[in-house]
């Protein structure tokens, strides 16, 4: 019985982490679109509970909606996700922290805990 419950819990972790990976891939696509149009990666991403806002000089601000477990927070839990983003003109780090404590990266470099985006409390 205990093994069955552990198996169900692990499957739930995998499902939530797959949702996080899917959301991050959509964010990465948007970053690529911004780079293709502006020639630089956004200088920053602002994250709150429901959105990630891309800030790029001389380029319109774009906002990406986060849903479900992909919603932003300062830590990854079964309900929310922590993100990292660091960029210069030609490279970037982009990641989401999974429930096992490891970063899932899609950028040109690897994320670390020091790269984690600060969570913008109270912005809705």
Per-residue pLDDT of the chain (124 residues; tens, 9 = 90+): 666 666 677 788 899 999 999 989 998 999 899 999 988 889 888 888 888 899 888 889 888 888 877 888 888 888 888 899 988 777 889 999 999 999 999 988 899 888 888 765 433 3
CA distances 34 to 27, 30, 55, 58, Å, are 11, 6, 10, 11
Enter the tokens of residue 78: 């079964």
pTM of the prediction? 0.83
pLDDT score recorded for residue 58? 87
Q: How far is the C-alpha of 119 from the C-alpha of 81, rounded, in Å?
A: 10
């Amino acid at each position: 019985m205990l093994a069955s419950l552990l198996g169900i819990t692990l499957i739930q972790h995998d499902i939530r982490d797959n949702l996080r990976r899917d959301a991050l891939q959509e964010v990465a696509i948007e970053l690529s679109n911004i780079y293709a149009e502006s020639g630089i990666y956004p200088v920053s991403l602002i994250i709150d509970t429901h959105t990630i806002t891309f800030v790029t000089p001389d380029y319109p601000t774009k906002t990406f909606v986060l849903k479900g477990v992909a919603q932003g927070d300062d830590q990854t839990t079964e309900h929310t996700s922590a993100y990292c983003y660091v960029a210069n003109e030609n490279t970037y780090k982009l990641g989401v922290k999974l429930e096992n404590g490891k970063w899932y990266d899609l950028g040109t470099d690897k994320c670390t805990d020091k790269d984690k985006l600060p969570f913008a409390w109270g912005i809705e």
